[in-house]
Structure 1
C-alpha cells in the first residue's frame, strides 16, 4: 500500500483511508464483530488509518479492532459548537478509543465562513487541545466549495476532508471546477486533503477505474476515504489502486452491489430527516420522499428519525 504525506506538515498515511461509516450502526450493513474483522483484514493489507465520526457511534468497534495495531491512526469528527461541547467530544473519543492522544479531530460538515464562525468556540478548543498534545492534527470535513475556502484560512488547520468525484456529485454550493480551484488553493498553502464520496455515494461504481484515476490526477489531493464493509470490498479497492486486473467473480460480488435509501411505509412525515440532509435529497409529500440521483447514501437522515423509517439497503 502506497504511503502519502498529508500536506506539508501532516501525517504519513496509506493512500486509502478506511471509511468506517459503512460498518457503523448508522448504516447497519454488518454486525459489530463483522466490522471488526473487516477492519483487521484491512490493517493486514496495509491500510493504516480510519475515518469515523461521533455520530457513527462505532468507537467501541474501532477500539476493539485496533488492539495490537498501535500504528493505525484515527480521524474523528464532531458537530460541536461550543468549547464545552468540543471538550466533551474529545474526552468521549479518548476514553472510548482508549487513546490519550487523538490523531485527527475535525469539525463535521462545515459549509462556509458563516458556519465556521458559529462553531468558533469549538474550533478554539481544538486549537487548545492541539497545543496541549491532546490531538495531533485538526481540520474540517465539508460538502461545500465555500467550506474548503473558509477552512483553508482557519488558524492552525492541518487537514480538509472534502466531497470530491469526477461528476461533482454532492457538492452543495458550486461546480466541480470551483471545488477543484478551492482544493488547489488549500493545498498550495500546505493543507492536507483527503477526499470523500469518490464513487458519488454509489452513483459512479459503473466506472470505478475512472473514479479512482480522477482523484489521483489531482495533485492537491493526497488520499481518499473509501467505505468498505467486507473483505471483498477491501480486496477490490486495493486491486483498483494497484491497477491490477480484478477477477470476474470479485467484480460480481462488489461492483454490482447497488444500494439505496429505503423509507418505510410507516413514515409519519415529521420532516426531521429533511432538515438534516446535507444534499437536499429529501422532500415531504405527506411522507418523506428521496431523490435517488441527489442522495449520496450517507445515512445521516436515519439517525434523527424517531420512528426508524430510514435505512441504507
Structure 2
C-alpha cells in the first residue's frame, strides 16, 4: 500500500485509514480489539469526533501509551468559543493525549475566517499556538462551502464525501485541494452503504494521490477486508473501470447519501433510511428492509406535512419530500409483489 502526504500537514500515512464513527455501536472490548488490529495491520491514521458518542474514549483506551505511533484527527461541532474549548478539553481527556494531529471544524455551515465575528478560527489558531493541535482542518457536506474553505487558504485539510459515485464538481474539489496543497480526507467512500465492492472503491480512490480515505469500520470482518489491500493494492484496470461505469449509470443522480443532517423529522420519519429505500432494496438482501417494523417506518411517510425542514437542511439540495414519496411508491410495489428484489 502506497503512502501519501496529507497536504501541507506533512503527515505521511498509508492511503488506507480508519473512520471511527461506527465503533460507537460496539462494546469497548470489541472496539479496542478492532482498533489495535487496524494498527497492527498497517493503519496509522484514525479519524473520530466529539459528536461520535464514546468513539474517542475507545481510541484512547486502544492506543494509550503509543501516541507517537499513530495520527489522530478529531472534530468539534462547537459554534461558540466557550463550547470550542470545552469540547477540545473533553476530546483530549477521552483520547488520553495532550495534543491532536488534526482538529477539524465539523460539518460547517460557513467558512470560518478571522474577524468574522464568531471567534471560531481564532480558537483554532490559539490552540495551535499552544501545541494542543498540530494542524487545522475542516469538514463539510455542502460543496460550495467546501470550495470556499479550500480557496480561503486557512485550512490544512478538507474532509468531504468522495467515492466513485462522485460528480465532476467533487473531482474539481479534489483537484483544487491538490493545487492548494490541502490534504483531502475522503469520508463516505462507500457512499453511505450503496457501494458494496471494496476493491473497486479502493482502486478508484487510489488514483488520486492526495486523497486519504477513512473507511467506516465496526466489525473485524470489515477491517480485514480493508487490511488485505495493504499487501495487494487494487489497480483500476479495465474490468474494474467497466464495473464502476455500470454502477454510476445505475446510481448517480438525486440519491440520498444517508448522512442524517436532515433529522429529526417532526413526524418521526427515519428520513436517512426511508429516502434511499428503493436503492437499498435493489442492492442488498431485502429481508431486513421488509420487516414489520420497517414497514411501519415507511408508512410514516404518508404523514409528511411538507414542512420543508428536511429539504432546507439537506447539504445535497435534494427535494427530500418528493424523494420520500417516490421511495414509498416503490416500497408499496415491492410489498404487493409487483417488483422483485433480492
**TM over 0.5, shorter chain:** yes
1:211 aligned to which of 190, 201, 215: 201
Question: After the TM superposition, which segments of 4 or more aligned residues of structure 1 sit over 4 Å from their partners?
Answer: 114-120, 280-289, 293-296
1:277 aligned to which of 256, 260, 263: 260
SS in 2 for 1:224: strand
1:292 aligned to which of 276, 280, 305: 276
Task: Report how many residues are paired.
Answer: 254
Q: Which runs of 5+ in 2 are unaligned?
A: 235-258, 281-296, 298-342
Alignment CA distance shift 1:116-1:277 (3 Å): farther
Q: Which runs of 5+ in 1 are unaligned?
A: 169-175, 246-275, 297-309
Match of 1:202 in 2: 193
CA contact under 8 A between 2:4 and 2:209: conserved in structure 1?
Answer: no
Q: After the TM superposition, which residues 1-16 of structure 1 pair with which residues of structure 2 at under 5 Å, given as runs?
A: 1-16=1-16
1:186 aligned to which of 154, 158, 177: 177
Match of 2:108 in 1: 110
Q: In proportion to residue count, which structure has more helix?
A: 2
1:43 aligned to which of 39, 60, 63: 39
Determine which structure has more spread, i.e. the larger CA radius of gyration. Answer: 2
Q: How much has 1:203 moved relative to structure 2?
A: 0.4
Calculate the TM-score normalised by the size of structure 2: 0.66
Instruction: Work out the CA distance in 1 between the residues paired with 2:77 and 2:117.
Output: 8
Instruction: Work out the CA distance in 1 between the residues paired with 2:222 and 2:260.
Output: 26
Match of 1:100 in 2: 98
Instruction: Work out the CA distance in 2 between the residues paired with 1:80 and 1:110.
Output: 10
Instruction: Work out the CA distance in 2 between the residues paired with 1:82 and 1:108.
Output: 13
Match of 2:333 in 1: none
CA-atom RMSD, angstroms?
3.0
CA contact under 8 A between 1:106 and 1:141: conserved in structure 2?
Answer: yes
Question: Which string of whole-angstrom CA distances, capped at 9 and with x for unpartnered residues, describes residues 97-140 of structure 1?
Answer: 22112211100012444899988422220111112211001111
Instruction: Work out the CA distance in 2 between the residues paired with 1:37 and 1:14.
Output: 20
Question: Which string of whole-angstrom CA distances, capped at 9 and with x for unpartnered residues, describes residues 242-288 of structure 1?
Answer: 4479xxxxxxxxxxxxxxxxxxxxxxxxxxxxxx932x488666744
Q: How much has 1:16 moved relative to structure 2?
A: 1.7
Calculate the TM-score normalised by the size of structure 1: 0.72
CA contact under 8 A between 2:203 and 2:233: conserved in structure 1?
Answer: no
Q: In proportion to residue count, which structure has more strand?
A: 1
1:130 aligned to which of 128, 131, 134: 128
1:64 aligned to which of 54, 61, 64: 61
